[in-house]
Structure 1
Amino acid sequence: MTGQTVDRAFLLRHPLPLPEGEVDKDARGRVIVIGGSREVPGAALLAGLSALRAGAGKVQIATVESRAAALGIAMPEARVLGLPESEGGDIEASAAQVLLTRIKQEDAVLLGPGMLDDDVAGDLAAELLSSLDGPHLVVDAAALTGLREKVGTLKKHSGRSVITPHAGEMATFLGDQKQAVEADAPGAARRAAAATGAVVVMKGTCTHIASPQGQVWECKHGNVGLATSGSGDTLAGIIAGLLARGAHPLLAAQWGVYMHGEAGQRLCQSHGLLGYLAREIPFQIPKIMMDLNGRPNELQA
């Protein structure tokens, strides 16, 4: 099935779960972001901030030891764990055993933002996914491309995971040419969803969201200003936050993609089409959720 559109009307028909009764920050949902590297520590910060802005109650960031203290100061809302790092500055695969003890209590795990080495990230991701059982997953960036020959570790988590590649990452993951992926983005998303059992967010000017059952939705909301460093990290964080608070993977992906685009629309109005920053995207999310749930006619599809 194709031609389904994620817009304001769609989200009104498919609302997000909201907290009910007396709940504490643990009941609001817990997220752990595993990512960052010596050269790109800020990606994990952007993702963690986005998860909180999407409504999660608690965030942990697990990153390379040399950057952990700085991230803890930059984001005082997060608990930050420093991990052994490779010679190139990525999280070592040997950190998996430490991480598994932390992940047990989490509702959602985001793996990959800011990781640079496909092989190192893939080894860590495979080790974690082989042993992990329970939480929802978002797999992004080098953690995803590093699993291109270990797809079975993702398949184990069918029904509770989301992957978020852009065209280049999708081409690497599928072993295809980037031009071929761009020529048939819905088909590439559908193939990846079938292979992994994950909901696929195929990022682009028109983002395609594919379910493991072969359905594809499209979302053209947003603008070219979203094509900026760190923007994908915020999208992954938003989706992880929605998963943690109880949205199922397909709904989290649909809402996350639309709200990311709407944040770009609002930033365009206040800052101009080009030049707004990824760090400004998360701050738009609570107001977007409030407008859509409380005053939906203010939001433009």
Structure 2
Amino acid sequence: MSEPEVLDVEWLKRNPLPHHSDDGDKEDRGRLLVIGGSRELAGAALLAGVAGLRAGAGKLQIATAASIAIHISVAVPEARVIGLEETAEGCIATSEIDRILGWAKDAQAILLGCGLQHGAPLGKLLDRLFETGLEVPLVLDAAVLGSLAERAEALKDWPGGAMLLPHAGEMARLLGTDRDAVYADPLAAARQAAERYGAVTLIKGEYSHIVAPDGRAVRFKGGGVGLATSGSGDTLAGIVGGLAARGADPFTAVSWGVHLHGEAGRTLSRDVGRVGFLARELLDLVPGLMFD
């Protein structure tokens, strides 16, 4: 199997983002639906949503816990925020699944997982979502990744294309192995996950590897240790979701997302400090790093 290509500016030029004309409107750049957030992790949905807008999505909808919906709505006035009933444990109630699926049908990309709580309701939401067979790109991260092992075949059949964004621990759960095995050969782990789940798969690290189900692979030298901070993964997921909403195919969306996220981290490492910058500070840099 061939070695991964280097993910750099030259690769990006050969694999550009969708071009949007100056006379286009927000409908042309797609609607991103973020399903995420909980009482304890409201910021995850906020970061992911704003990241999607910074990546160029035309519209943003955030489906989140009712207890935090008004707060997110005020913090992100650009978004339509949908408050959902919660269980006592902080999960989205199963009674809300039909409502969520109604919003999903009108989205150009769906991001699911940032700030959600593990539990049976999340598994039921995934099962119902996979049954719809929507031709919509699906970005899966955080809590959702722990619920995929028993749903690999259903995800593999998803017609809209799926993207997995695990760190090493989450990758180990996806593959039924341990962290040490993932650390020993992250590229092999990403290849295995891409094949098993039929999804473009990222494995994060000092060198990030991105693998498509058809075997294409790229490698990116990360943006520095400062990116290993709370909320950083949520910003990356939102960037990828925003690019997918704009019409980028899954492999392009993840590759560009990793590059934009890493370069924003590299810039902050230089201008702010090697460690100590905040995930939210990455977002304002993203538009200036994009080109088409």
3-state secondary structure, aligned to 1:287: helix
Report the alpha carbon displacement of residue 118 of structure 1 after superposing the two structures with TM: 5.1
Provide closer, same or farther for how the CA distance between residues 179 and 284 of structure 1 changes in structure 2, counting only shifts above 3 A: same
Q: 1:255 to 1:112 in 2, by over 3 A?
A: same
Shift of 1:147: 1.7
Give, as a single letter, the amino acid of the residue that structure 1 aligns with 2:199.
A
What is the rounded CA distance, in whole Å, between the counterparts of 1:134 and 1:102 in structure 2? 14
Aligned residue number for residue 160 of structure 1: 161
More off after superposition, 97-106 vs 129-138? 129-138
Secondary structure of 1:200's match? Answer: strand
Give the Cα separation in 2 of the matches to 1:94 and 1:271.
46
Distance 2:182 2:58 in 1: 37
- Structure-2 residue corresponding to 1:74: 75
1:257-300 residue CA offsets vs partner (Å, 9 max, x unmatched): 011000001111221111110011111100111xx45xxxxxxx
- What is the CA deviation profile of residues 59-104 of structure 1, one whole-angstrom value per residue up to 9, with x for unaligned ones? 0000111111111011101000011212211222332211111111
In the alignment, which residue of structure 1 is the partner of 2:286? 285
In the alignment, is the contact (CA less than 8 A) between 2:134 and 2:160 conserved in 1? no
**RMSD value, Cα:** 1.4
Identity, % of aligned positions? 48
Within the alignment, does 1:108 sit opposite 2:129 as a pair? Answer: no
The aligned residue for residue 251 of structure 1 is: 252
State the TM-score, normalizing by the size of structure 1.
0.93
Instruction: Give secondary structure in 1 for the equivalent of 2:180.
Output: helix
* Aligned position for 2:95: 94
Post-superposition offset of 1:121: 2.5
CA separation in 2, counterparts of 1:227 and 1:90? 26
Relative distance call for 1:118 and 1:146 in structure 2 (3 A) is farther
**Deviation per CA, 1:144-200, whole angstroms, max 9, x where unpaired?**
211211112211215611110111011111111111111111111111111111100
Q: Which position in structure 1 is the counterpart of 2:234?
A: 233
SS of the residue 1:281 aligns to: helix
Q: How does 1:36-47 map to 2 (within 5 A)?
A: 36-47=37-48
Distance 2:216 2:26 in 1: 34
Q: Distance in 1 between matches of 2:174 and 2:192?
A: 11
Q: What's 1:123 paired with?
A: 124
> Structure 1: any 5+ residue segments left out of the alignment?
294-301
TM-score (norm 2): 0.96
Count of aligned pairs: 291
Kept after mapping to 2: 8 A contact 1:126/1:147: no
SS in structure 1 of the partner of residue 116 of structure 2: coil
Unaligned runs of 5+ in 2: none
How many Å separate the matches in 1 of 2:11 and 2:46? 30
